Amino acid sequence: MRQWRKRRGLSQLELAIGADVSSRHLSFIETGRSTPSRAMVLRLAAALEIPRREQNQLLVAAGLAPEYTERALDDPEMAAVRDGVERVLAAYEPFPCLAVDRTWRIVRANTSAGVLLGGVAPDLLEQPNALRIALHPDGLAPRIRNLGQWRHHLLERLRREVAVSGDALLAELLAELEGYPGGSWVEDELGGVVVPLELLSDEGVVLSLLSTVTTFGTALDLTAAELSIEAFLPADTGTAEALSLRAGR
């Protein structure tokens, strides 16, 4: 708990006020002089905005049962989640759409996502990671016209995720991606409102794509809670037409 408090840059008094507990009791919890109840662990976790997976770890450390289950996406009990993901992916056709887990591993993709995966080295597709595929020299990087800008955007996004979650796997991924070449950041052409992905398709057409993210906000299972569905929508008419023609072939 102390590590999370320091990661959030809070004093004991600030956290105590935010969680509506006494600073003395919080001090006892952090030093191990008091064993917190389940309700107290969850209250402090909410005040610290600790991700669900790490909330489970705090509960176990306090000798309590985890709050959130974790089932594989292919588990029979996850049928409703799988169906929901598939419906969202299909709804975005003919535009590319991916479902990724908390470490950016691609777990599902629609047919149109082929434009994002074509020409990628086979070894990168064995355990496909969306960020690694995007920035690796044997992935999409050679085809991204604004690579410096897109690389900056993705790395900043991942840095924020590492800072919020404290996830060691994400930290390792960030260190790996920072070592890839990619050029410098340049000012985007849309006035700083949004960063487009400018991708050269295998037909030689430059596609301008905007990404949107959908999550399961009320999920009580970790697998569902940590899923993100990322769709790439056309930023101009030419891109929309090119993707529609590609899908119709």
- Cα 82 to the center of its chain, rounded Å: 18
Encode pLDDT of 104-113 as tens digits.
999 999 999 9
pLDDT score of 151: 94
Over residues 21-67, the pLDDT tens digits come to 999 999 999 998 999 999 999 999 999 999 898 999 999 989 999 99
Domain architecture of the chain: domains with CATH: 2-61 (1.10.260.40), 78-147+190-248 (3.30.450.180)
Nearest to 41 by CA among 33, 32, 29, 51: 29
User: Which letter does DSSP use for residue 2 in this model?
Assistant: H
Q: With bands split at pLDDT 50, 70 and 90, how would you rate the model's confidence at 248?
A: confident
Q: What is the mean pLDDT of the chain?
A: 91
pLDDT digits (tens, 9 = 90+) for 130-141: 999 999 999 999
Whole-model pTM: value is 0.83
Output the pLDDT for position 157: 93
Q: Give the per-residue pLDDT at 247.
A: 80
pLDDT in tens, 5-33: 999 999 999 999 999 999 999 999 999 89
Task: Compute the C-alpha angle 104/71/134, nearest 5°.
Answer: 10
- Whether residue 189 is predicted with pLDDT greater than 50 in this model: the reply is no
